[in-house]
Amino acid sequence: MNKQLLIVGNWKMHLTVHQSSLLVHRLQQHIKTHRDIEVVLAPSMLVLQPISVELDKRRFKLCAQDAYFKDEGGYTGEVSFAMLGDLVQYAIIGHSSRRLFFGETLDTVRDKVQASIRNDIMPIICVGETQQERDAHETRQVLHDQVTTALMNVTSKDIEKIVIAYEPLWAISAFNKNVTAKPEDAQKAISFIRQQVSELYGDRAAKHMRILYGGSVNEHDARSYLELPEVDGVLVGAASLNYLQFTGIVDAAHQIQTERKS
């Protein structure tokens, strides 16, 4: 089965509307259309609307970095998945920054996954262990708890819409500048996540699910993760803010797909 590789750029809390517009312009100039690759941009909430007007939607999809799980109500400062329904195809849920800095719990992530599905937005659920949990050999337990809770109310029909991203916190540039995960680490964790999905939804669902690697990835090492048999794409942070680096990652994905076909 040759799945489309999914390349997601998470811009986090970077770039003004103007800077984002410049980056989109550059990306549209440099990134070629490849049928076997899906390129998704996750700018700040403020930028989604203006960018949606400029974006060539045949080539790029939009993603929210987060949203609130209630559809509407007196929740000052929040934006709901319902409000984003016309703008984005994807939403990142449970990113490590949300879990660490904003106290997002397993239950909140579960509720957000439900809200996302309810509003026809495909969730990209982030899971991953901290350095401390890794040192204590708790990686499997953490991944198990995060995956099973996030999928708690997901039906076998809706499992097809779910994407999971494995983000080892100890390898994310915002937390740990000079450490990257070895491809074997990524492979092991992603394989374990797939096994969890298989236990819950069967082999077919597990095989079809797109599972991304979301630790630090750049244009030089993207290939080493993307060529792993169980890795279906990457969730990129810092390198997605630079059009040359992000284009390099998409090119690496395209090269792999071309080699797989030949």
Whole-number minimum distance, CB 147 to ligand 13P, in Å? 17
Residue 245 · residue 16 · CB < 8 Å: no
Has 95 been annotated as catalytic?
A: yes
Question: Residues 194 to 223: which contact ligand 13P by CB under 6 A?
Answer: 214, 216-217
**Amino acid at the residue 173:** S
72-101 residues in contact with ligand 13P (CB under 6 A) are 95
Chain residue whose CB lies nearest ligand 13P: 237
Residue among 210, 203, 206, 216 at smallest CA distance from 167: 216
Q: Which positions from 219 to 248 touch ligand 13P by CB under 6 A, shown as an x/- string?
A: ----------------xxxxx---------
Entry field: residues in the chain: 262
Query: Is 11 within 8 Å of 45 (Cβ atoms)?
Result: no
174 CB-near residues (< 8 Å, 6+ apart): 12, 97, 237
Comparison of 201 and 210: residue with beta carbon closer to ligand 13P: 210
d(CA 209, CA 197): 8
Site for ligand 13P in 155-194 (CB under 6 A): 167, 172-173
The answer to whether 65 contacts ligand 13P (rule: CB under 6 A) is no
Distance of CA 161 to the CA centre of its chain: 13
- Shortest separation between residue 95's beta carbon and ligand 13P, angstroms: 6
DSSP one-letter code for 31: P
Q: Which is nearer to ligand 13P, 187 or 201 (CB)?
A: 187
CB of 224 to ligand 13P, least distance (A): 14
CB 231 within 8 A of CB 215: no
Would you say 232 and 257 are in contact if contact means Cβ atoms under 8 Å apart? no
Give CA separation, 138 vs 101, 147, 164, 167, in Å.
21, 14, 19, 15
Q: Which of 34, 95, 129, 133 is catalytic?
A: 95
Measured from the CB atom, the residue of 10 and 114 that comes closer to ligand 13P is 10
Q: Among residues 104, 129, 133, 167, which one is catalytic?
A: 167
> Does the annotation mark 167 as catalytic?
yes
What is the rounded CA–CA span in Å between residue 107 and residue 2? 34
| Size of residue set near ligand 13P by CB under 6 A | 13
Q: Based on CB atoms, which residue is closest to ligand 13P, 14 or 70?
A: 14
Which residues of this protein are in contact with ligand 13P, per CB under 6 A? 10, 95, 167, 172-173, 214, 216-217, 235-239
Residues with catalytic roles: 95, 167
